[in-house]
Structure 1
């Protein structure tokens, strides 16, 4: 075997052994998050007569700092406690610019969109463009251990 052919095969072998690592590194953890979401929410999420539905528990909120529900409610919902007033806040976490999910930042007291830099106050109002429309705010209340949200 010629040296050039040998080195080509070694290169192909190295590339083949590295490929699974590269593919695994590019995959999201969505599967793991879905499992955690399924385990975390073992409550009746059906819409009640008063229009509210349970989307999480007080324990979940205290443990995780927020509840993000994208599958049980008619539209995505994020629930968290306002750091100054300790009041519950429920809003649609999808940025009104291009639909990316905003991230809760309790230190700066704002919601940040990592896609294009939009920022929102905890009342859903735009504080930094490019988004021009406010986030939808929902009614939220605590009943016992459940956090109930009225979407729509």
Structure 2
């Protein structure tokens, strides 16, 4: 016959064992969010532009006028800014911080990205300038066709 103390001990161990997979799943990065941002289309919505939406795998992320006005373009997990070393060159990076997946924001005055969650900083080309981010932001090919900025994700 089990004593009360033994029963409570076994019950506690069983309860913790049952909850452990749920805790692990809650702490793991959400892969569905990453995949969803990769499949999200550009903001172009009219049918005429939809045919030009993808050119050789490139997607429209905005116009050069928007880039000049705002200093950067950021949409669907992709951020585009001018290279501080060469103002004629554009650099496209994944806008999800490699630390916890928060959306990084472009700081035009400092010419760098900063994660609002833990203040990780990244150069325009995605290199880590200040942790806690463990790795650089992924980079993507970018080009300008006419007045449209295109990125291949």
TM-score range normalised by the length of the shorter chain: 0.5 to 0.7
What's the CA shift for 1:57? 0.9
Where structure 2 has 5 or more consecutive residues not aligned to the other structure, the ranges are: 1-42
Q: Is the 8 A contact 1:83 1:106 kept in 2?
A: no
Report the aligned-residue RMSD: 1.8
Q: Which residue is 1:21 aligned to?
A: none
Q: Which residue is 1:89 aligned to?
A: 91
Where structure 1 has 5 or more consecutive residues not aligned to the other structure, the ranges are: 1-39, 71-75
Q: Is 1:62 matched with 2:64?
A: no
1:75-132 deviation line (CA, Å, top 9, x unaligned): x111121244111111111101001111111222221112111111111111111111
TM-score (norm 1): 0.63
Q: Distance in 1 between matches of 2:108 and 2:70?
A: 12
Paired residues for 1:136-151 under 5 Å:
136-151=138-153
Q: Secondary structure at the match of 2:80?
A: strand
1:129 counterpart (119, 128, 131): 131
